[in-house]
Amino acid sequence: MLHNMSTDDNDVLSVCANCGKEGNDVSNVCNKCKQVKYCNAACKKKHRHKHKNDCEEHIRQAAKQAAKLHDIELFKQPPPPEDCLCFVRRPILDTGTRYMTCCGKVICGGCFYSPVYDNQGNEVIEKVCPFCRTAAPTSDEEIFKRTIKRMETGDAEAIHTFGKYYF
């Protein structure tokens, strides 16, 4: 349903979704979806039962799109943080840091070698990533596979790490 009519490229007329009134005084918008305009509160109330399904569908689609965009941003490689998980500034030299092939995080050597504890406070014997708790790789082949996966996602740190050790 078209609610705004254009006479020129720069001139946009607002149209009331209920009564069809045109003009600049049609400025009362739907509080939920913000997509349709009304000339007054009475028109908004009269049109509510007709607009309700479209409004809810628009909100669902907007939420779905927002979740999709959030996931896209979430799985992009974030800019490298200057601090480690322990909130201590990471060493400048690469020898003082470790790249975790499971989650793509770079942590300081202290966090890498420190013991990891479970929810009850017991030390975990099996070596796991201090950030994501994924089991440590047991072979160079597994490290290679994980690094390739991280590279395929566009992880710049993985590309840097892979080039340093394998080329």
Asked if the structure places residue 82 within a domain, the reply is no
Question: Do 98 and 144 belong to one domain?
Answer: yes
Output 163 or 18, whichever has higher pLDDT: 18
Asked if the structure places residue 84 within a domain, the reply is no
Asked if the structure places residue 87 within a domain, the reply is no
Residue 14 bridge partners (DSSP): 4, 23
Tokens representing 34 are 């913000």
Tokens representing 16 are 């009331």
Asked if the structure places residue 143 within a domain, the reply is yes
Boundary of a domain, candidates 75, 103, 134: 75
Look at residue 82 in the predicted model and tell me its pLDDT: 63
Write the pLDDT tens digit of every residue in 57-107. 988 998 888 888 876 775 565 545 566 767 676 766 667 777 788 887 788
Look at residue 6 in the predicted model and tell me its pLDDT: 43
Question: Do 67 and 104 belong to one domain?
Answer: no
Report how many domains make up the chain. Answer: 2
Question: Do 125 and 66 belong to one domain?
Answer: no
Query: Distance (Å, rounded) from C-alpha 12 to C-alpha 81?
Result: 46
Question: Do 60 and 98 belong to one domain?
Answer: no
Question: Do 126 and 66 belong to one domain?
Answer: no
Kindly give the pairing relationship between strand 97-99 and strand 106-108.
Answer: antiparallel
Boundary of a domain, candidates 25, 43, 75: 75
Asked if the structure places residue 64 within a domain, the reply is yes
Question: Do 98 and 150 belong to one domain?
Answer: yes
Tokens representing 25 are 């005084």
Tokens representing 123 are 């030390």
Question: In which domain, by residue range, is 107 found?
Answer: 94-166
Look at residue 2 in the predicted model and tell me its pLDDT: 46
pTM of the model: 0.41
Asked if the structure places residue 89 within a domain, the reply is no
**Candidate ranges 77-81, 125-129, 142-146; pick with highest mean pLDDT:** 142-146
Look at residue 24 in the predicted model and tell me its pLDDT: 82
Question: Do 101 and 57 belong to one domain?
Answer: no
Question: Do 98 and 69 belong to one domain?
Answer: no
Write the pLDDT tens digit of every residue in 3-17. 444 444 445 678 898
Which of 38-52, 53-67, 137-151 comes out lowest in average pLDDT?
137-151
Asked if the structure places residue 71 within a domain, the reply is yes
Q: Which residues does 21 contact at the CB level (< 8 Å), separation at least 6?
A: 15, 39, 43
